[in-house]
A and B are shown apart, each in its own frame.
Chain A
Amino acid sequence: MNFQPLDFKANARKAMADPNLREALSRVQTNFSGRRAEAVARLPEFDQLRHDARAIKDHVLAHLDVYLERFEQKVVEAGGHVHWCRTPREARETILSLCRKVEAKTCTKGKSMIAEEIALNPFLAANGVQPIETDLGEYIIQLADEPPSHIIGPAVHKTKAQISDLFHEHHAKLGRTQRITDEQGLVNEAREILRQKYFDADVGITGANLLVAETGSSVIVTNEGNGDLTQTLPKMHIVIASLEKVVPTLEDACTILRVLARSATGQEFSVYTTFSTGPRRPDDVDGPGEYHVVLLDNGRSAMVGTVLGELLRCIRCGACMNHCPVYQSVGGHAYGWVYPGPIGAALDPHFIGIEAGQHLPQASTFCGRCEEVCPMQIPLPAIMRHWREQSFSARVTPPLQRYAIRLWAMAARRPALYRLGARLAMGALALAGRGRGRFARLPLAGGWTAGRDLPAPAGRTFQDQWRGARE
């Protein structure tokens, strides 16, 4: 499956016609949005916490250089290494050379959106290092050879029946020929198959929800414990993280973790929250022999101080997509790039350009729910509007749309002419629609009437009636 952001409309159409996807997406609301609402209701000071978390990120972004250098210093003191990478390519190559250093054949992987951003898996596989996803959702979509459709629930687009089929197809060759249909059974089977792979892997790659400057630690949150096994058992632990993940102190990290879990899954805290600092020390019972942090910029440092800078507060909780009416209809794959939903609509054009990403910021009703639930108060609609302005002024917006708006605006800027035109047009339209009171079809209104009737206007405009009666 290969979705492109430029094909958004076609992707969306296909998605809305897929009954499995519709069944799967209907769970997003109950499982994510509903639980978030309950978690927020249980914590009266949630808004204060959100405010504090936002302040931490704003402070960090204003002093990013200071905290990143402090983080590196602490990582080095703990015996680890930091690799600064400007581009996805540099990051991929750094990771590959680290894998080669320990002659890695396989590497286990915890869930990481940055790994998706740099397209790490196909690159490693093409270079002789087999990546093995250990997060259950990621494992499922790796079997299906699909990209994640949600930033915290990568396989949220799959139904249980589809997962059962997928496991049956792929696990049969491992000697597991019996089809499993119950949820716990499927989880257990994936666990049993992954178990040995943790021990066999030479490298464990994880993302990072946070990097702590005070201690040089990387932090991951999971509900399956797969991240711990991924990072402690192999010879080498590689953390791939983008540079805005850094926070000053452990205290700050905890503040952000408290809003993260509630916003994401409605949990008070994730089941596993793991802090990793450096490689295994002589007295440690376990841990990797080497600890590396690959820090990715990919244009982020240039966002600081611009309208896009606020996007760097994002903690990837997924609340914006869980509450988005468009995401709810089309799912994540329709967006055609790494980050779906409102955060993707605001962020993706930065990475792929406004031309390729033109649909993403347009495909929003601007209902504002994403901003309302965002724990970091990111003004997502305003940033999408920024992209629409870029698109309009660079003539990326299709000519028909641009001319229609300009023409309408020309009229709206001339009130007397507008009143006359409105009187004539509405009079004619009312005449055409009299009897039924609405139109099932109307020339030039196909966008409206494809799925709904268009109410006919009453006849005389308000202005016309008001001026006739009162003046």
Chain B
Amino acid sequence: MSAEPKTVALFVTCLVDLFRPSVGFAAVKLLEDAGCRVVVPAAQTCCGQPAYNSGDRGDAIAIARQVIEAFAGFTYVVAPSGSCAGMIRHHYPALFAGDDEMKSRADDLASRTHELTSFLTDVLGVNAVAAQFDGTATYHDACSGLRELSVKDQPRRLLASVAGLDLVPLPNAETCCGFGGTFCVKYPEISTDIVSRKTADIVATGAGTLLAGDLGCLMNMAGRLQREGHDVKVRHVAEVLAGMADGPAIGEPA
């Protein structure tokens, strides 16, 4: 390990902050174990995607400005979400097309921002974690991480190093779970229909645990699995990688 620890600013993401702080602490542990110093800028709320994807460009721009400001000066910005990291990397620069100064600041932040598992593997060169998880799990590729950031092999590589974990492939792992941000409440019946196909695939694997890298998708799949009465535990991949999977799974009582 080099003498000077790398400073990483954690973009917690709104859902992790509000619903499942344990994912944030798991991310902190993974980053610290990899030799990083983690800071959490206070002036962060959300990446702005709900506004951006609802067509509210004005608010999306205002929130993006705030994030660009809050994360200025950090060499690395890491989010435990492909969706939020994808928003910052791909969509912030697009929001400021025509505003040269902000565009270059957005480009700069984009170049420093990473999704957690790809940061660990691709940037820090981590190929193994010191974690134990006894059980069978399957992994769903959340869409934004997969298609905007090419997160596919990275979480699987890290999961392969978890002692005791048996990772079984999920059929149609690259098919959307039906979450889609505000889509899931604007078109709840269609969203439920899509997630029902996903839960059928999950249940068919026989895995006791479902993992993915985006909390929105995880809450959607967990909520549907529970509504259907399936006993599959749902967790963010960071919890397993950090060896912090002993607390209640998503939607389970404490």
Contacts and interface: CB of A to CB of B under 8 A. Distances in A.
Q: Do A and B assemble together?
A: yes
Interface of A: 9, 12-13, 16, 325-326, 328-330, 362-369, 371-372, 385, 387-393, 397, 401-402, 405-406, 408-409, 411-413, 415-416, 418-419, 422, 425-426, 434-438, 440, 445-458, 460-463, 465-467, 470
Contacts of B192: 450-452
A422 B42 CA distance: 13
B48 A452 contact: no
B72 to A, nearest CB: 15
B13 to A, nearest CB: 9
B55 A385 contact: yes
A280 B196 CA distance: 56
Interface stretch (B102-110, B111-119, B219-227, B237-245): B219-227
B195 interface: yes
A467 B54 contact: no
Contacts of B70: 415
Interface in B26-46: 40, 42-46
12 contacts: A16-B190, A328-B197, A362-B186, A368-B144, A397-B54, A422-B17, A434-B254, A437-B252, A452-B195, A458-B19, A461-B18, A462-B21
A437 B16 contact: no
A20 B16 CA distance: 41
Contact of B220 (A362, A385, A397, A452): A452
Contact of B25 (A13, A418, A462): A462
Contacts of A452: 192, 195, 220, 223-224, 226-227
Interface string B156-200: 000000000000000000111011111111111111111111000
B188 A409 contact: no
A470 to B, nearest CB: 8
Interface string B49-79: 0111111110100110010001000000000
B24 interface: yes
B147 A369 contact: yes
A13 B189 CA distance: 7
B20 A12 contact: no
Given A366-B181, A453-B223, A325 B52 contact: no
Contact of B50 (A364, A405, A460): A405
B190 A329 contact: yes
Contacts of A460: 21
B223 A448 contact: yes
Interface of B: 12, 14, 16-22, 24-25, 40, 42-46, 48, 50-57, 59, 62-63, 66, 70, 143-144, 147-148, 174-176, 178-197, 219-220, 222-224, 226-227, 248, 250-254
Contact of B59 (A329, A406, A440): A406
A404 B45 CA distance: 17
B254 A437 contact: yes
A437 B18 contact: no
A389 B189 CA distance: 24
B88 to A, nearest CB: 15
Contacts of A449: 223
Nearest to B253: A437
A234 B179 CA distance: 52
A365 B185 contact: no
A457 B50 CA distance: 19
Nearest to B20: A458
Contacts of A330: 190
Given A325-B175, A455-B251, A389 B57 contact: yes
A325 B54 contact: no
B189 A12 contact: yes
Contact of B54 (A390, A392, A438): A392
A4 B16 CA distance: 40
A462 B63 contact: no
Contacts of A385: 52-53, 55
Nearest to A436: B253
B147 A368 contact: yes
A16 B188 CA distance: 12
Contact of A415 (B43, B50, B143, B182): B43
Nearest to B248: A437
Nearest to B189: A13
Contacts of B194: 325-326, 328-329, 365
B21 A434 contact: no
Pick the 9 closest A-B CB pairs, nearest first. Answer: A365-B180, A451-B192, A447-B185, A452-B223, A392-B55, A388-B55, A367-B176, A409-B59, A462-B21
